Amino acid sequence: MSNPSTDDLLALAARYDADFNPNSPPIVIERGEGATITDTEGHTTIDLGDIIANIGHCHPRHVAALREAVGQMLTGKSGLTNPPRSRLVAKLAEITPDELDKVYLVVGGSEAVDWAIRIARRFTGRHEILTFWGGVYGRTYATTSMNGLMRRRRRFGPVMPGVIHAPFPYCYRCPFGKQPEDCNFFCVDYLDEVMLYASTDDLAALVIEPYLGVGGIIFPPEGYLPRLQRWAAERDALFILDEVQSSFGRTGKWFALEWEDLSPNMICIGKGMGSGVSIAAIVGESRLFDSLNPGELSGGNGGNYLACTSALTVIDIMEDEQLVEHARQIGNYFMERLTRWKDEFAVIGDVRGKGLVLAMEFVKDRETKMPFPEIVKRISQICYQKGVSCGGRSHILDIRPPLVITQEQAVFAADVIESALREVTT
C-alpha cells in the first residue's frame, strides 16, 4: 500500500480523530530533529511552538537511551521500583529545593495536579482550592474545574465543589485598572475579599502557574509570587506551584521557582521532563505524602521503566549541554528583538517572557487594546512558508522553541518574524 498523501491523512484525522482541530493549518508533521520539524510535504521549519521536546526532537542520546530501554523493559510494577525509577526520584529530589524531598511519578501533568490537590486535602483536612483566572491546570475533572478559562470548563455539568477562582495579575490588562509600579500588589490583598465572599473558611491550598501558559504566556510582576506565598502561609494553606510547563529549563532556570527563590510545599512537573515520553511528577514535602497510606498512590503506568529512562536521560543531556544557561542566553536575544519590534510596530501591545518562553500580544489599537487575532494568523502563515513554525493562539504569538535551538536558528527565526511583521503592517 502506498503512503497516504497529506490530504488523505488530514481527511482521516477529520473523520476519526476526536481531538483533531479542523481550524489548524492543513499540515501533517512527520519528523523532528533538534529544533526543526518537517511536514509530509518535506517542508522543514524551525519549531518555535514546542513545550515538550525541551532537549530537541530526537536527540541522538535520548533516542539511544530509549532504544536500549525498549530492549530491557517497558513497564513498571505498581508499588515496586526499577533502576531508572530509583535514580530518577533521587535526582529530582536533588535538583529541587531541599524541602521537596519526596517524589510521586505519574503519567501526565493533569494527573499530577489532580493528585496534588487530593494530597493537600488529605494533609490539611480542608477542602477548598484557590486557583486563578486564566490558569490551565489540566483535563481531568478536578483540574478542569480548577481551570480559570471558561472555554476549558464550559458545559460539562457542575464542576468540582470547593474551587475558588481569583484574578491573576495580568498587568497589561489589569482587572482592577491599576499599574504594577504603584499597585502594591492590590490583587494579593484582594484575595481576602474573594475569600470573604466565596470561601467557607476551609482553604486547603492554592495552586498557581509561575506564568499563565495556555492562558497567554502572562508573567506576574516581580515580587507577586513571594507575596502570594506569604499570603498562603499566613492562612496555613499549602502553596502549590504548577510547573508542568515552566520546569526543565523553559524559563532559563531548571524550575521557574528559582527566579524568586520560592519555597512551595509541592510542585507539579511534566511535559519537558520526558521530552516526548509521557511522564510527570509531584515533588513535595514528605510530611504531605505521609498523610497517605501505602498503596493509595499506586497506578498502572506511573514510574515505568521507559518513561523513567527518558526523564533521567533528559536531565543528563540538559546538564551536559548546559541547556538551562543556553535557554537564558537565546531567550535574552529573542527578548531584545521583541522589545525593538514593540517600539517599531504599533500592532504589538505587549511583549513578555523569560528564557525560551516569550510572547507578543497583538492589538488593533494601543489605546483600546482591542485584540487582533487575524494578524497573528497571517504572521504564522507567512512564517511557516518562510521556514519558521510559530506558536500562535488568538491574538498572542508565542516563541517557545526546544531549548537546543542554536543562535543561528534564533537569528534566522527572528529575521523571518520581522519580515512577516513588515509584510502585514505595510
CB 210 → ligand PLP: shortest distance, Å?
Answer: 9
Pairing between strand 391-393 and 396-399? antiparallel
Please choose, from the candidates 194, 201, 127, the residue with its C-alpha nearest in 3D space to the C-alpha of residue 167: 194
> Which position among 113, 208, 311, 382 is part of the footprint of ligand PLP (CB under 6 A)?
113
From CA 256, how far away is CA 246, in angstroms rounded? 6
Span near ligand PLP by CB under 6 A; candidates 107-115, 319-327, 336-344, 367-375: 107-115
215 is an interface residue for ligand PLP by CB under 6 A: no
> Which position among 34, 109, 162, 274 is part of the footprint of ligand PLP (CB under 6 A)?
109
CB 169 → ligand PLP: shortest distance, Å?
Answer: 16
- The answer to whether the CB of 148 falls within 8 A of the CB of 134 is yes
Q: For ligand PLP, which is the closer residue by CB, 304 or 409?
A: 304
108 is an interface residue for ligand PLP by CB under 6 A: yes
242 is an interface residue for ligand PLP by CB under 6 A: yes
Helix or strand holding residue 30 (H, E): strand 29-33
> Which position among 137, 168, 231, 334 is part of the footprint of ligand PLP (CB under 6 A)?
137
Task: Name the residue whose CB lies closest to ligand PLP.
Answer: 109
Span near ligand PLP by CB under 6 A; candidates 27-35, 103-111, 145-153, 233-241: 103-111
DSSP 196-223: HHH--S-EEEEEE-SSBTTTTSBPPPTT
138 is an interface residue for ligand PLP by CB under 6 A: yes
Q: For ligand PLP, which is the closer residue by CB, 113 or 312?
A: 113
Q: Which of residues 148-167 bind ligand PLP (CB under 6 A)?
A: none
Pairing between strand 163-166 and 238-243? unpaired
214 is an interface residue for ligand PLP by CB under 6 A: yes
CB 413 → ligand PLP: shortest distance, Å?
Answer: 23
Q: Which of residues 369-408 bind ligand PLP (CB under 6 A)?
A: none
Q: What is the torsional sign of CA 402, 407, 413, 418?
A: positive
Q: For ligand PLP, which is the closer residue by CB, 118 or 235?
A: 118
Q: Which of residues 259-298 bind ligand PLP (CB under 6 A)?
A: 270, 280
Span near ligand PLP by CB under 6 A; candidates 89-97, 181-189, 241-249, 298-306: 241-249
CB 28 → ligand PLP: shortest distance, Å?
Answer: 21
Q: At what angle do helices 186-198 and 224-234 cross, to 10 degrees?
A: 40
- Name the grid cell of 57: 526532537
DSSP 137-196: --SSHHHHHH-S-GGGTTTSSSPPTTEEEE----GGG-TT---TTTS-SHHHHHHHHHHH
Q: Count the residues of the shown chain that bind ligand PLP, applying the rule CB under 6 A.
A: 16
Place of cell 521556514: 387
CB 243 → ligand PLP: shortest distance, Å?
Answer: 8
Residue 252 neighbours by CB distance under 10 Å? 24
**408 Cβ contact list (under 8 Å, min separation 6):** none
Pairing between strand 348-354 and 357-362? antiparallel
Q: For ligand PLP, which is the closer residue by CB, 136 or 191?
A: 136
Q: For ligand PLP, which is the closer residue by CB, 137 or 334?
A: 137
- The answer to whether the CB of 341 falls within 8 A of the CB of 351 is yes
> Which position among 39, 47, 128, 209 is part of the footprint of ligand PLP (CB under 6 A)?
209
Residues that bind ligand PLP (CB under 6 A): 108-110, 113, 136-139, 209, 213-214, 242, 244-245, 270, 280
